[in-house]
């Protein structure tokens, strides 16, 4: 497994464990939500500065993003879609 995949799977695992959406993580890290998705899928060659920012938002050491991943452990995501908007009163 390549490093981009390892980082992506760890990022998603940690994010989901903390019940944080991609949108919320992106907002707090001041990056695009689609970029977070591409990182999690191992499609982006993310910089160390960006990894440091993401780890800071998640309150984990950067090294947590590089931990060995068990292939048999699936990472289920949060429920898809946005929460419905409340109707104005």
pLDDT for 69: 81
pTM over 0.85: no
b/e sequence 8-47, b meaning 16+ C-beta within 10 Å:
bbbbbbbbbeeebbbebbbeebebeeebbbebbebebebe
| Interhelix angle 48-58/3-17, nearest 10 degrees | 20
Taking only the tens place, the pLDDT of each residue in 32-55 is 999 999 999 999 999 999 999 999
Nearest-CA neighbor of 4 among 48, 47, 44?
44
């Amino acid at each position: 497994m390549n490093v981009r995949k390892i980082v992506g799977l760890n990022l998603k695992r940690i994010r989901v464990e903390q019940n944080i959406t991609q949108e919320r993580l992106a907002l707090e890290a001041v990056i695009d939500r689609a970029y977070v998705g591409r990182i999690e899928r191992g499609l982006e060659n993310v910089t160390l500065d960006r990894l440091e920012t993401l780890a800071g938002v998640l309150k984990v050491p950067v090294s947590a993003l590089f931990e060995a991943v068990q292939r048999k452990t699936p990472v289920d995501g949060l429920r898809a879609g946005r929460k419905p908007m409340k109707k104005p009163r």
